[in-house]
């Protein structure tokens, strides 16, 4: 992972607008929109569901297996999630191929835009 990023991030962040399913407990599952994703985490945008720092959750992103993580920050209109384990290498490429995303200067955008 890249450790020399200007924001001192462990992995390059890719801007996306992607649907995911969030599970807080066996009985609390709901839809969320992701604003960005990296090997180490993601952001959830404009969720109606309240989140708390440290809260454990699981995200079902696209066709991937559920990814476990915890809330690392809560801000105005967004929530940061740190994954328990980094996503395997190539996951962003898999998302590109399956969902017509392309990486442009470190940002994933829908193809054709």
Lowest mean pLDDT among 57-61, 77-81, 101-105: 101-105
| 85: in domain | yes
* Domain that includes residue 33, residue range: 14-104
Burial class (CB within 10 angstroms; exposed 0-12, middle 13-18, buried 19+) of 14: buried
pLDDT (mean) for 20-32: 96
- Reduce the DSSP state of residue 10 to 3 states and report it: coil
Q: Which two tokens stand for residue 29?
A: 């599952």
| 73: in domain | yes
pLDDT band at 85, cuts 50/70/90? Answer: very high
| 40: in domain | yes
Strand duo 107-110 + 101-104: pairing: antiparallel
- 56 has pLDDT over 90: yes
pTM: 0.78
Percent of the chain past pLDDT 70, that is, above it, reads 75
pLDDT value, residue 65: 92
| 89: in domain | yes
| 50: in domain | yes
């Amino acid at each position: 992972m890249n450790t020399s990023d200007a924001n001192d991030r462990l992995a390059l962040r890719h801007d996306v607008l992607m649907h995911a399913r969030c599970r807080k407990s066996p009985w609390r599952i709901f839809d969320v929109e992701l604003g960005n994703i990296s090997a180490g985490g993601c952001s959830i945008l404009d969720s109606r569901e309240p989140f708390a720092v440290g809260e454990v959750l699981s995200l079902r992103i696209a066709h991937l297996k559920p990814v476990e993580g915890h809330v690392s920050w809560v801000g105005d209109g967004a929530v940061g999630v740190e994954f328990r384990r980094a996503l395997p290498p190539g996951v962003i490429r898999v998302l590109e191929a399956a969902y017509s995303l392309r990486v442009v200067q470190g940002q994933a955008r829908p193809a054709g835009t």
